Amino acid sequence: MTPRTLAIIPARYASTRLEGKPLRRLGSRSIIEWVYRRVSEAVTDVVVATDDERIYSAVEDFGGRAVITSTEHRSGTDRCAEALMKVGGQYDIIINVQGDEPFIRREQIEALIECFADPDITIATLAHPFDAEEGMAAVENPNAVKVVRDSHGRALYFSRSVIPYVRDAERGEWLRHHRYLRHVGIYAFCPATLLEVTNLGASELEERERLEQLRWLEGGYRIGVAVTPYASIGIDTPEDLARAEELIATYGDEI
């Protein structure tokens, strides 16, 4: 039976690097409309969770659905939990798609949902292999979060450091000896788990690495990690937006 799925897109107006990011234009649409329409290709029930009336109105104007959430949330996960309580309904899976991912693909969302075929999984996320052409500099970048998995595809650890350490090879050769995985920050939850994790206090590992998902691992949750061939193309800066505009101009909706 197909799981009943709700996709929630948290979207804030305030951003230190690109204020009003969800409403910035990308080709003929706003960024938030791109995200909404791409997600809607895979999930019937989609809602934007925002703390800003301008975003709420923009979503309604293009025919989407939105809810107003608190301005006090510290993470998109917390905002999704409030949105779930406001939307109501009976769902098997809740997907949290960041509001700055206009090129998210149907296949990525389907891969997240497939993780729940494992009955022990209550949280799922994605990873994308580092390209050998990127070199070790890309793997060593602390802004590129790495993840390692067990033999069942469950997360063992997430880190800003390079994991694993390849003991018997020169550092410049590590990409030839191991497939390093870059974490893609898209999540799916069982509804009860989503509500539970928002009540967890910050954990020691989370505080050290500044990675929210470590709180969940420390809390004993098993996180399924699906490997996707598609890289994440998020928008955080004006430079990211310019590159996204180039992609739209070249590929249109086919990106």
pTM: 0.92
Tens digit of pLDDT per residue, the chain (255 long)? Answer: 689 999 999 998 887 778 889 999 998 899 999 999 999 999 999 999 999 999 999 999 999 999 999 888 888 899 999 999 999 889 999 999 999 999 999 999 999 999 999 999 999 999 999 998 889 999 999 999 999 999 999 999 999 999 999 999 999 999 999 999 999 999 999 999 999 999 998 899 999 999 999 999 999 999 999 999 998 888 888 898 999 898 888 877 666
Spatial contact of 245 and 251, defined as CB atoms under 8 Å apart? no
Give the CATH number, domain containing residue 36: 3.90.550.10
Burial of residue 178 (CB within 10 Å: 0-12, 13-18, 19+) is: middle
Q: Does 220 lie in the same domain as 189?
A: yes
Q: Does 125 lie in the same domain as 219?
A: yes
Q: How far apart are CA 36 and CA 30, in angstroms?
A: 10
Residue 225 lies in a domain: yes
Q: Does 151 lie in the same domain as 175?
A: yes
Q: Does 111 lie in the same domain as 65?
A: no
Spatial contact of 193 and 104, defined as CB atoms under 8 Å apart? no
Q: Does 113 lie in the same domain as 79?
A: no
Residue 109 lies in a domain: yes
HSE at residue 123, side-chain half, CA atoms within 13 A, is 23
Domain count, the chain: 2
Answer positive or negative: Cα dihedral of 27, 30, 33, 34. Answer: positive
Element (H, E) at 225: strand 223-227
Domain boundary among 85, 101, 117: 101
